[in-house]
Amino acid sequence: MSQPLSFDDDQRFEQYMDALAEAIGHQHRAERLRGYCTGLLLPGARKSIEPIAARLAPDRARIMHQNLHHFIADGAWSDAAVLAAVRAQVLPSLVKHGPIRFSIVDDTGMPKKGTHSVGVARQYCGELGKGDNCQVLVSLSVANDAACLPVAARLYLPEAWAEDVERRGTVGVPLDVSFLTKPAIALEQIRHAHASGVPLGVVLADEAYGANPPFRRGVAALGLAYALGVPSSLRVYPPRDGRRARCWPDQDGNRSVRDLAGRLPRSRWRWITWRDGTGRDLTSRFARIRVRVAPTSNGTGKDEGEQTLLIEWPVGEPDPLGYWLVTLPSHTALEAVVNTAKGRWWIEQGYRDLKQEVGLGDFEGRGWRGFHHHVTLTLAAYGFLVMQRCEHGPPAGGRATNLSFPGVPDPANPPLRPERHVASSIATQRRRVIIVLARRLPRCPCCHALPTPQFDRANPIRLVPQ
């Protein structure tokens, strides 16, 4: 909890930035890359270009703002190349703690006030829990039991935007970008990651993706297993051999998964605990049954073969809470199936950290290129925190109520975070990095004080709360 700030932290950040700078190319771009990533990691309520410039160079904020704006809004550098460099740096640290288990697809909404920013429309925003004016980002992340790393992200362009030539031209949407549904964008990301050699695990997604037959078939065609949420209205057939015939009175017909759940006998249900929660064990009642997905209402669709339908239905609830189609081997233990299906919690935590720690949703420009450059660099900054988390030891599980306060053996050198916390969390790793980066600035970004002396290998500075 009270580890000293080592010279290695500073060195590791420099090496990480050097690797990304090679993907950027030009020397001036490399300097602005460092500056922008530094600004994303520094404290501050807003992580858009103007406040970042003010923190980096308070005495020449206007010039810094112009340089960063040109770098983000107009810079002709490749997002894909930078993300490939991030993967090359972070994945080795991640897989030290075990192979990649999950490939998680999801989208997140970023509320916006105006209507001129690229992709802004009234649509469902998960952050607000309702439909509102927002941009929606579709992402692909890989995860194991230690951490989760986003490896691809793209703005969802609503159909009204995609078909409006004037608006597209105003914000610089590339000519080769056409309207794609969110599942189509996600499948494209998975295919590109697979072709690029990114290690992929079981594909996880909610029912917005699991309800899409082309998405399911596309994932299966790549040889990847999946555990996808599906709606209660999905219709399924019994297995070809007629197993569990008592659940299927009409062997030639199909029924909704909700109806099927109500027909399962009590003996099919089991209580499963899949992981520790913050206040108590996460436990619920589950059942599974082998099914075949029925064709769509218009009669189209190919046979997807037998799959496992996983159902969650706690006692006392009037309806099941969730349904998943799972293509793990049929002999997989129910505990393993549940643990896999519930692995999506990583992306929920990841989006929260991306927005709170590195300003994913804070970009205030309007253009397609600027938006994606900002997103790419937030993923790069976040990737460094993930690497630090993995390098400083695997995250420890447990409940928040069991976390202890760190000891203070030396009052002159207090710990980084005197409050209860998980020592390997992304928030704690960012505080470590803030100390490193703030010492390079003309003034402290928090109190505007002059900087203290630089690192001394023989006498490393201890982490002091800001």
Q: Tokens 């996808």 label which residue? A: 228
Confidence of residue 294 (pLDDT cuts 50, 70, 90): confident
Confidence of residue 27 (pLDDT cuts 50, 70, 90): confident
As a whole-number percent, the residues of the chain with pLDDT over 70 amount to: 82
- What number is the average pLDDT over the span 289-312? 82
Q: Where are the alpha helices (DSSP H) in 48-158?
A: 49-56, 61-69, 79-95
Query: Which residues on neighbouring strands pair with residue 137, listed in sequence order?
Result: 108, 155
Confidence of residue 462 (pLDDT cuts 50, 70, 90): very low
Buried b (16+ CB within 10 A) or exposed e, 126-144: beeeeeebbbbbbbbbbbb
**At 378, which helix (H) or strand (E)?**
helix 368-391
| Of 143, 305, 303, 325, residue with least CA distance to 230 | 325
* 50 pLDDT more than 70: yes
pTM: 0.87
Q: Is 54 exposed, middle or buried (0-12, 13-18, 19+ CB in 10 A)?
A: middle
Q: Using CA atoms, how far apart are residues 447 and 168, in angstroms rounded to an integer?
A: 43
Q: Tens digit of pLDDT for each residue in 394-407?
A: 554 444 455 555 66
Confidence of residue 65 (pLDDT cuts 50, 70, 90): very high
- What number is the average pLDDT over the span 247-252? 63
Q: Using CA atoms, how far apart are residues 81 and 86, in angstroms rounded to an integer?
A: 9
As a whole-number percent, the residues of the chain with pLDDT over 90 amount to: 58
What is the structure's pLDDT at 198?
96
What is the structure's pLDDT at 424?
75
* 19 pLDDT more than 90: yes
Cα end-to-end distance, the chain, whole Å: 16
Least confident of 1-15, 48-62, 158-172, 431-445: 1-15
Q: Using CA atoms, how far apart are residues 152 and 164, in angstroms rounded to an integer?
A: 26
Q: Tens digit of pLDDT for each residue in 191-233?
A: 999 999 999 999 999 999 999 999 999 999 999 999 999 999 9
Q: From the DSSP assignment, how many helices (H) and strands (E) are in the chain?
A: 15, 12
